[in-house]
Amino acid sequence: MSDFRQDFLHFALEQNVLKFGQFTTKAGRQSPYFFNAGLFNDGYSMLRLARFYARSIIASEVKFDMLFGPAYKGIILAAATAMMLAEQGINVPYAYNRKEAKDHGEGGILVGAPLQGKVLIIDDVISAGTSVRESVQIIQQFGASPAGVAIALDRMEKGNSHTSAVQEVQQQYQIPVIPIATLDNLLQMLESENSLAEYRQPVASYRQQYGV
Catalytic residues: 102, 104
- Tell me the domain boundaries of the chain: 3-210
d(CA 43, CA 69): 18
3-210: CATH topology is Rossmann fold (3.40.50)
pLDDT at 106: 54
Q: Which residues in the chain come in under a pLDDT of 70?
A: 1-2, 101-107
Indicate the pairing of strand 94-102 with strand 108-112. antiparallel
